[in-house]
Amino acid sequence: MKIYHNPRCSKSRQTLALIEGKTNEFEIVEYLKNPLTNKEITVLLSQLNIKAIELVRTQETIWKENYKGKELTETETINTMAKNPKLIERPIVVKDNKAIIGRPPENVLSLFA
C-alpha cells in the first residue's frame, strides 16, 4: 500500500491516520518533495480510472492564473501536474492496482474490504 501524501493537508493527514489504524504496511510518498513523473501520473490515472483533469486541483492559484479556461490534452494536463505537483489532488492511496482519492478520507476504507 502506498499513500501520496502532503503533510500540510488536513485531509491527507486524516487519511494517513485511517490507514495507520488498519495496517502498518504502507509507504508514504511526499510527492511535493519527490515530484511524480509523467509516467507515474499516467499509471495513477489508470489505477484511479479517471481523466487527467479530474486529478487537478482547479482551485489552486497556479491553475487559475495559468490554465483555467484553456483546452489541454490529456498529455498536456499530465505534463502540467508533473511540473506543478501542487496541482495533484490529494491524498491518493494505492493498494495492488487500485487507487482511491482520500476525499473524504473514508473513501480509502474500501481498499481494506
71-101 burial, b at 16+ Cβ within 10 Å, e below that, comes to eeeeeebbebbbebbebbbbbbbbbeeebbb
Among candidate residues 1, 9, 29, 62, the one labeled active-site is: 9
CA dihedral 40→42→48→50, nearest 10 degrees, is: 150
Residue 9 designated active-site: yes
- The grid coordinates of residue 104 equal 473524504
Mind telling me the catalytic residues? 9
